[in-house]
Structure 1
Amino acid sequence: MRLATVADMPRIGTLMRVSGAELFPRFYTERQAASAAIYLTEPDITLIKDGTYFVYEAGGEIVACGGWSKRNKLYTGSGSQQDDGRLLDPATEPARVRAMFVRADWTRRGLAKAILDACVKAAREEGFRSLSLMATLPGVPLYHAFGFQETRQTMVPLPDGVQLEGVEMTYELSQ
């Protein structure tokens, strides 16, 4: 596992699309899965430039990716908000876990947990007290197993009008 670089963006995008195409249809309708595969699988260069995004490589391929953010944007596909780039206050606001994807044939090998461990360590070092995220349904079991607590179930509006079930979750860094 290592920090992602800007040069990794095409391979990260490919992994996100492949993972989404494999996993989203298991949890969502065909229309929802197709929309999510478009709007939730775009790499965010800000995470990479901030040095908060990790990739796991095997055999020269990126098979898992994910990270955290010290900025206000909660998830890719949430649209563009005026304060998305605002730096969060570690004393009063949670850091964000963002864009976790694992290729389906690499799931259940501890890669996502290793990425989450790295996110926890880095966010703690930056002074954050908690993490928050918006989970898609494929990720909920992972986050529960890691220790995230569900704060609410919600419908996530995507830019094409499709509504996707999501779960807001938090994790206290004092754990």
Structure 2
Amino acid sequence: MRTTPPQRKALSNDVPAIEALMRRSVEELFPLFHDAGDTAAAAKYLTVPDIVLIDDGTYYVHEDGGEIIACGGWSKRDKLYTGSGDRDGDARLLDPATEPARVRAMFVRGDHARRGIGRAILTSCAEAAKADGYRSLVLMATLPGVPLYKAFGFRELGREDLPLPDGTTLAGVAMEMDLD
């Protein structure tokens, strides 16, 4: 039986390793769902670590042998996903009584996929968001993440095309999960 590598909150000095992991994850897992052009665009635009999540203490990493092999977190801010660009309201704090927390920037190295690490990060996100008074979680999934999110209890709200800055659009799935 495999054990899940240890999880901890991400630190600002983890940013270069997180960025490298994000890019590696996209390059390894996106080709199972996307063509080469979509994968290249995702590797460029979806792999920028969001420092706000780290500063807020809501971003987690898993390490194995001193290397970060998975990352992900949740946000109490209005930004839904990294590739959405910067909007004026992105930094706005959400109201836990009326708005859902966001699950953000989930990535796992391909050789560690399907080993329970993503589930461990989602469990930490759900527990922390619930402790902060949130009643639900939402996310915008890219196709590689949909099976994990469904297995964890998220339900599909709808499908959307996610525009990236170079004009590429990725298939996305809006999802939600109640925390009650």
TM-score, length-scaled by structure 2: 0.96
AA aligned to 1:55 is V
Give the 5 Å matches for 1:1-175.
Answer: 1-174=7-180
AA aligned to 1:115 is I
Match of 2:148, SS state, is helix
**Displacement, 1:29?**
1.5
User: Mind listing any 5+ residue stretches in structure 2 that lack a counterpart?
Assistant: 1-6
Measure, in 2, the Cα distance between the counterparts of 1:29 and 1:106. Answer: 22
- Structure 1: 4+ residue segments shifted above 2 A: none
Measure, in 1, the Cα distance between the counterparts of 2:158 and 2:83. Answer: 19
**Displacement, 1:103?**
0.2
Identity of aligned residues (%): 63
Match of 1:73, SS state, is coil
AA aligned to 2:10 is A
TM-score, length-scaled by structure 1: 0.99
AA aligned to 2:50 is D
**Displacement, 1:25?**
1.3
1:124-173: CA deviation from partner (whole Å, max 9, x where unpaired): 01100000000000000000000000000110000111110000000000
CA-based RMSD: 0.5
Match of 1:96, SS state, is strand
| Greater CA drift, 68-77 or 27-36 | 27-36
**Displacement, 1:50?**
0.2
Measure, in 2, the Cα distance between the counterparts of 1:120 and 1:29. Answer: 32
AA aligned to 1:71 is R
Measure, in 2, the Cα distance between the counterparts of 1:108 and 1:89. Answer: 33
- Number of equivalent positions: 174
**Displacement, 1:77?**
1.0
